[in-house]
Amino acid sequence: MFSKSCEYSIRAVLYIYKNTQDGNKISIEKVAGAIGTPRHFTGKLLQVLAKQKIISSVKGPNGGFYIAPNAPEIRLSRVVEAIDGPEIFKACALGLKECSEDHPCPLHQQYKGIREQIKNMMEDQTVQQLGKKLGEEKVFVKNENYPE
Binding site for a second copy (CB under 8 A): 1-2, 4, 7-8, 10-11, 14, 76, 91, 93-98, 100, 102-108, 110-111, 114, 117-118, 121, 125, 130, 133-134, 138-144
Among 30, 36, 43, 108, binds ligand FES (CB under 6 A): 108
Q: How far apart are CA 79 and CA 98, in angstroms?
A: 23
Contact 44, 38 (CB under 8 A): no
Q: How far apart are CA 101 and CA 1, in angstroms?
A: 23
Among 50, 71, 93, 118, binds ligand FES (CB under 6 A): 93
- Quote the least distance from Cβ 135 to ligand FES, whole Å: 18
* Under rule CB under 6 A, residue 88 binds ligand FES: no
Q: With CB cut-offs between 5 and 8 Å by kind, which of ligand FES, a second copy, DNA, none does residue 99 bind?
A: ligand FES
Q: Residues near 126 by Cβ (< 8 Å), separated by ≥ 6?
A: 73, 74, 75, 76
Amino acid at 143: N
Q: How far apart are CA 109 and CA 129, in angstroms?
A: 32
Q: Residues near 58 by Cβ (< 8 Å), separated by ≥ 6?
A: 25, 64, 66
Residues that bind DNA (CB under 7 A): 3-5, 8, 25-29, 37-41, 43-44, 46-47, 50-51, 57-65
* Under rule CB under 6 A, residue 92 binds ligand FES: yes
* Under rule CB under 6 A, residue 114 binds ligand FES: no
